[in-house]
Structure formats: structure tokens, C-alpha cells
Amino acid sequence: MNRTASVGVDVDSLRLYYRIHGLDDRSASNAAWRVGVARFEELFAELGIKATFFCVAEDLDLPGNTDRLRRLVAAGHEIGNHTWRHPYELTRQSPEIRRMEVGQGRFRLEAAAEAPVVGFRSPGYNTDAALQKDVLETGHRYDSSVFPCLPYYAAKAAILGLMRLRGRESRSMLGTPKVLMAPRAPYVCDRADPHVRGKDGLVQFPIAVFAGVPLIGTAFTALGERASAFVCDLAARASNHLTIEFHAADLLSLRDDGLDPALAVQPDLRAPLDRKRRTFRAALKAVQRHAQIVRLADLHVVPAAQ
């Protein structure tokens, strides 16, 4: 089987969802780590998948999270760097703070996991040449921050604009529209612009998009079981590599987990847990019919352009 796919889980704590929606995050629980991560572990074990969990190093200060991180490593999963404190405005930070977020994130995660951390994903999928330089020079081998999806970009722009009109400030931010022209297949970045091919930059694994549909957990939840499996089947047939992305909170449910009702502003959290489990299982099994799912760190050669 020549085709490959990778599955990533961004372990964003619930406090980040409060911040996205302009809510007070002081009542945020640790459910993304405590419950969501465990559910993805179970799903991946059932399907025989080794995944990449992109973690925020600051979360390791919470009780139990370091043990959960080490359990992922023991199960054969990869740990990726999702920064020290997950600042959405990372590309707008000073060079010193930006480098610290990247470098300290990797250092703390490696120390806690007792395993190599060689991959990076930026908060909010926003990146630029300066950030890519920091990622490269702090010892990472690859990046997976580019998300060339027009429907996602447009929806994000609309939501942020609507929130501003309503007087609510989101901590999220909209990145450069140049991302929409980035390659869809894995590529080596140009050091001067991570959104174009080059010869001397990091290996970039863009989040998969097929026929305008992003292959991410929130999209699968919206599409449902049959449509998600159908899209993933077609995408896996047509692509040399797919980088599929979830968030730990994708396997949480307001109703089933007793989450704060204020989080109902996040539409996918309103979906029943069983429905999401069935949908994600069907989507991943459709990919497995046509591609070998491997950890991003194990993809040493960039697949040919699609």
C-alpha cells in the first residue's frame, strides 16, 4: 500500500474554547485531557492506529496530565509540540516570546514524555517565515500548521466579524489569506514563505482538504457518519497522503459529559457522543481501506505532489 495518512489530535484544553468565544475561562475543566484524550486512545486502539497528539506544555501543570502524556507514549503514539501556552497571536508576538513559546513547549513536553518531540503545530493554524525559522532552529523536523481550506477560512472570518459587531472579543485570530494558495500535499517549505514550496525549509504536512471539505473532527461531526465515510473514501483513493486532524474536545458532549452550558456556543459539543464516535470510526475505517495510517514522525520522505 503506497498511500499514507496520518491522524493528529490537538489536545486543546476547554479554557481555549472559552477564549475563542469571548467567555470567562475561570470555570474551565480538564475534561479535554481527562476524558477526550482517553476516548481517542480507545478509538485508536480499536482501529490499530498510532496517532500524533499535539499538546500544550502548560497543561502538564494540571494534576494527572503528565501521566496521561506518558500513557500515550507507552501506547506507541507520537507527541507533537503545540507551544508552551497556546497564544493564538503567536505570529504577532515579539521574537523573544515567540521563540520561547516554541522552544519551551518542545523542551517541557520532551522532559515530561521522556520521548522525542520533533513536530510542531501552531495555534489557530497561523504561521509565517519568522515562526517557521523558530520551529526549525529549536530542533523540529516538521510542521503541520498550514490549513488551505477556503470554507474554513471564510467561516472563521465571518464568526470573528460577527463577534466584533456584538461587542465580544475572541482570542482567536485570522491568519494570512496566502494560506489558501498553499499546496495541499506535503511539501518542503521555502524559508521566506512557508506557504510555498522550497528546498531549505521544514517539511510541511498541511491539514487535508478534499473537494473543499476539511478532513477534521468538526467537519465530520457536521457531515455525519455516511457522508464522512464517503468523503474520506474518495479522498484516500485520490491522495498520496492525508493529514487528518481532530481535537481532544471532539469526543466530548455537553449532554453526556455535563459540561458548562455556556459551551453550547461551540456547535459540535452539542452533538451526542455516540453519534460522534460512530462518525469518526467510519471516517477512519474508510481511510484505512486505501492508505496506511502512520505517525507524522515516521514519514521520512515527502510523498510526491498530488
306 is a domain residue: no
In a domain, 158, yes or no: yes
Is the CB of residue 286 less than 8 Å from the CB of residue 279?
Answer: no
CA atoms within 13 Å, Cβ hemisphere of 217: 25
Query: How confident is the model at residue 164, as a pLDDT?
Result: 87
Position 305 scores a pLDDT of 42
C-beta neighbour count of 178 within 10 angstroms: 14
Dig out the grid coordinates for 215 from the structure.
478532513
What would the grid cell of residue 247 be? 481535537
Asked whether residue 224 is assigned to any structural domain, the reply reads yes
Does 208 reside within a domain?
A: yes
pLDDT score of 303 = 42
Contact at 8 Å (CB) between 173 and 153? no
Residue 305 lies in a domain: no
211: left (phi over 0), alpha (psi -120 to 50) or beta: left
CA contacts within 13 A on the Cβ side of 120: 31
Below-50 pLDDT ranges, the chain: 301, 303-306
Which pTM was predicted? 0.96
Contact residues for 159 (Cβ-Cβ < 8 A; gap 6+): 170
Domain with 167 in it: 4-298
* CATH code, domain with 143: 3.20.20.370
Q: What is the dihedral of CA 62, 67, 68, 72, to 10 degrees?
A: 140
Check residue 201 and report its DSSP letter.
Answer: S
Helix (H, G, I), strand (E, B) or coil at 125: helix
| Residue 202 domain-assigned (yes or no) | yes
Calpha distance 301→69 (Å, rounded): 27
In a domain, 15, yes or no: yes
Count: domains in the chain: 1
126 inside domain: yes
